[in-house]
Amino acid sequence: MGRFGLGLVAVLAGSLAPPVAQAQLDAHDSANQPAEIEPLASTSLLLDLASAGDRFVAVGERGHVLLSDDKGVTWRQAKSVPTRAMLTAVYFADAEYGWAVGHDETILNTIDGGETWTRSHFAPEAQQPLLDLWFANRISGIAVGAYGAYLTTNDGGRHWASTKFSPPAKTPASDDEPPPDYHLNRIVGVGNRLYIAAEGGQLYRSDDRGANWRALPSPYEGSFFGLVPIRGDGLLAFGLRGHLFRSADAGQTWTPLETHTTAMLTDGVAINDLRVVIGGLAGVLLVSGDAGETFRLTQQEDRRGVSALLPGPAGSVVVTGEGGVRVIRLDNGGQ
């Protein structure tokens, strides 16, 4: 699962949150209009992918939600999506229960594998897009986004509570200068452990499913857009200008890796214990066959940016981004 983050979307295109208030629903606002069925939806800007059992689900601009039941070979639009807002991320707890987030602090729920969706949260007045989400199960989840947006749910996403995200800083701010609200670009989980990648070189870890967070040592000051947990306590973190780092101790120490590119790196996936693929702008794909120790650079001829990846049919990845969703065959050099 992956998404572009606030800066990349621009390049390419506290209290319990109550149910959507009628006062917010401007019928002329496209965010309040249902997504349209469009013949070329699968070639539009799509920002994220998730697995719902054997089904793939992709989301993106104009509220597009696309479904594939043949590992990404063919796609069709969801039957009902109540918004045309940009959808930035999607997550499924199982084959039926899923959620999507996007601009205008939009959160959508589905209980039928993505066929139909309802909107449970909508706060355009907050002026902060949500950029990613994670669920432990069908009940408990976290959504993150711009300006430190951090929302939690414990009822399957029907209601959301907004909480100030303020883990202890690595370097305490002065008394008269509050800590900045960094954009929280990515949240990933492995068991009870969660990680967040953020702007300004910020990385965070929770060992109790988000109850408590702490800042991790960071190997650089640029923004991070993606994280990929790998075997053991391994972790890959990546972001601007081709920067890629590997940790073998859950983010305590980092080693820089050579990528041979200055493209922004956006998402990655561990296909198995050894094979890892990372995508980025300009059609960049980095392929590792040694559990992320080294990577080989490949680049798509059309140079279209990649925003998210999932393992596809043998020897391939399914990717979204500029130009929609497609299957890319990986050659034997990445094995």
pLDDT tens-digit profile of 125-176? Answer: 999 999 999 999 999 999 999 999 999 999 999 999 999 998 987 666 555 6
pLDDT at 9: 56
- Pick the range with the lowest mean pLDDT from 94-108, 115-129, 173-187: 173-187
Measured in residues, the chain has a length of 335
Percent of the chain with pLDDT over 70: 88
pTM for the model:
0.91
The token duo for 23 is 């006062």
**Confidence class of residue 314 from pLDDT cuts 50, 70 and 90?**
confident
How large is the average pLDDT for residues 19-31?
62
**Residue 120: pLDDT over 90:** yes
Residue 57 has pLDDT above 80, yes or no: yes
Residue 240 pLDDT greater than 80, yes or no: yes
Which residue has better confidence, 213 or 177? 213
Tokens at 58, concatenated: 């992709």
Residues 270-277: contacts with CB under 8 Å, at least 24 apart:
270/228, 270/229, 270/230, 270/231, 271/311, 271/317, 273/230, 273/231, 275/334, 275/335, 276/228, 276/230, 276/236, 277/309, 277/317, 277/330, 277/334
CA 208 – CA 132 distance, rounded (Å): 19
pLDDT at 24 over 80: no
- Which residues fall within 8 angstroms of residue 256, CB to CB, at 6 or more apart? 219, 243, 244, 245
Single out the residue of 27, 132, 39, 22 nearest to residue 84, CA to CA: 27
pLDDT of residue 20: 46
